Amino acid sequence: MQASTRTETAGRRVERRSIDFVPENERHGSPGQQFTLWFGANMQITAIVDGALAVLFGADALWAILGLLIGNLLGGAVMALHAAQGPKLGLPQMISSRAQFGVFGAVIPLVLVIIMYLGFAATGTVLAGQAIDQITRTGTPAVGMVIFGALTVLVATLGYKYIHVLGRISTVIGVLGFTYLGIRLFASQDVGALLASGTFEFPTFLLAISLGAGWQLTYGPYVADYSRYLPSKTPARKTFLAAFLGTVLGSQWSMTLGALFASLALPKGQRFLDGQVAFLGNLSGGGLIAVVIYLVIVTGKLTVNTLNAYGGYMTMLTSVTAFTRKTAARSRTRFAYVIGFIGLTVLIAMLASPDFLANFKNFVLLLLMVFIPWSSINLVDYYLISKEKVDIPALYDPNGRYGRWNKTALISYAIGIVAQIPFLAQTLYTGPMTKVLGGSDISWLVGLVVTALVFYPLAKRNSNAPAEMIYPNDAGVAAEPPAGRLAGAPVA
């Protein structure tokens, strides 16, 4: 029976699971798929732009690259700790937040996560729309944005399995395309002299670290969504390493190119920051090979934009079902959520594109302020307090073990946000400590540490974690909820 269920699940064209628990007989895959997904998701033009920002805001190329590497390593470790939760829990990432914040309380960070998904999807749509416009030559990037949105809807609706397939495709295409661009760069420019001419400035070095760390940390709210189908016995270490290496190597490759592109002074050519997509087309040599590079851009952006859409719909569903008590969604419900999400994304992209770079930098740094405390609370509770033991059915019951609101988590979350304010470096506000640090934004580090220090002793004293993992239907991970539901709960 179990084998036939696996075959049935593997043959499905549209994923049937949503925010509900994935039973053992539907688990599949290996940790290696985490590597290709996150490597491919980071081999894309927005990561290149993120690396370019480190230079745009004052760092020399060499120190920007080193700072980005440190940030990617630090942020990637936190991101991968979230990824390692997926096989054990068999749940999307944000559902597990109910164990810390309460069933209703988790909606507060969930709303902010939805805004994150919309922001990243919109900025990616801007660049993908430009790439499609370069291919079609319509002269209207908005048409490219609509085409890209339609492709995103298709893959996000099909679900988990096809997202991983797209990740593998993006990995291969990204390696080939970005290797070619790197060769062209080194053949046409004296990159060695560019790296040797840098001078170290601590504030801009810290900014580069923040950009790298911020990039990785914003994956935290949805990374476990793409590891939850792995068999429950998958070693957490293997899942951690696969996600960590994939995301760090992919993002660092892209960001290194971005830092080098932004450092080039081309008196007779176009600078990267004047038009990122067109710059890459020109660097490739133009003609047919430029079209290939534009396709590389679209493929990379499609991969990560699909992650945003898929995670976005599940986050919205998680927020709504906190009050409706539904634990799953039918395929048509997913399609409606994804259509609404992508429609809003395309609209934002059309309105935001003239000030893309400035908006993106502010957006990334602002996101850190609200996601770092959530990440700190989630990881401290899961690994240090609950010790990887969760009552899964209670995550769907406001009257259960985790209750409606967890005051300890919510107060710690608020303190973690407030503690960052003096260290912010934003367009609308610069904190006093930021001025002391020469303009560097280290709010992410302050938020991570302060939140953990506040939350741990309070939560440890009031912990109600179960002694062992509690799975649906009182039968362990192999027990399957009937018809995609948990203990008879209704379906959206």
pLDDT single digits (tens) 225-255: 999 999 989 999 999 999 999 999 999 999 9
Number of domains in the chain: 1
- Tokens found for residue 136: 């079609």
d(CA 459, CA 104): 18
* Whole-number Cα distances in Å, 249 to 68, 184, 214, 307: 12, 20, 16, 18
Considering the domain boundaries, does residue 454 fall inside one?
Answer: no
pLDDT digits (tens, 9 = 90+) for 184-212: 998 888 888 778 767 888 888 988 998 89
Percent of the chain with pLDDT over 70: 87
Considering the domain boundaries, does residue 297 fall inside one?
Answer: yes
d(CA 108, CA 90): 23
Query: In the structure, how many helices (H) and strands (E) does the chain have?
Result: 19, 0
When the pLDDT of each residue in the chain is averaged and rounded to a whole number, the result is: 83
What is the phi/psi pair of residue 430, to 5°? -125, 120
Considering the domain boundaries, does residue 440 fall inside one?
Answer: no
Considering the domain boundaries, does residue 149 fall inside one?
Answer: yes
Q: Domain of 210: which CATH number?
A: 1.10.4160.10
Q: What is the pLDDT of residue 423?
A: 86
Considering the domain boundaries, does residue 141 fall inside one?
Answer: yes
What range does the domain containing 331 cover? 31-368
Task: Please check whether residue 96 is in contact with residue 390, taking contact to mean a CB–CB distance below 8 angstroms.
Answer: yes
* pTM of the predicted model over 0.75: yes
* HSE (side-chain half, CA atoms, 13 Å) at 278: 10
> What does the longest C-alpha to C-alpha distance in the chain come to?
70
Considering the domain boundaries, does residue 398 fall inside one?
Answer: no
Task: Please check whether residue 218 is in contact with residue 71, taking contact to mean a CB–CB distance below 8 angstroms.
Answer: no
Considering the domain boundaries, does residue 15 fall inside one?
Answer: no
Say if residue 261's pLDDT is above 80.
yes
- Tokens found for residue 256: 């290194």
Task: Please check whether residue 47 is in contact with residue 254, taking contact to mean a CB–CB distance below 8 angstroms.
Answer: yes
What is the phi/psi pair of residue 405, to 5°? -130, 135
DSSP 8-state symbol, 481: -
pLDDT digits (tens, 9 = 90+) for 324-367: 777 666 777 778 888 888 888 888 888 765 666 566 656 655 76
Considering the domain boundaries, does residue 399 fall inside one?
Answer: no
User: Exposed, middle or buried: residue 274 (CB in 10 Å: 0-12, 13-18, 19+)?
Assistant: exposed
User: Exposed, middle or buried: residue 281 (CB in 10 Å: 0-12, 13-18, 19+)?
Assistant: buried
Question: 55: part of which helix (H) or strand (E)?
Answer: helix 45-56
Q: What is the pLDDT of residue 67?
A: 95
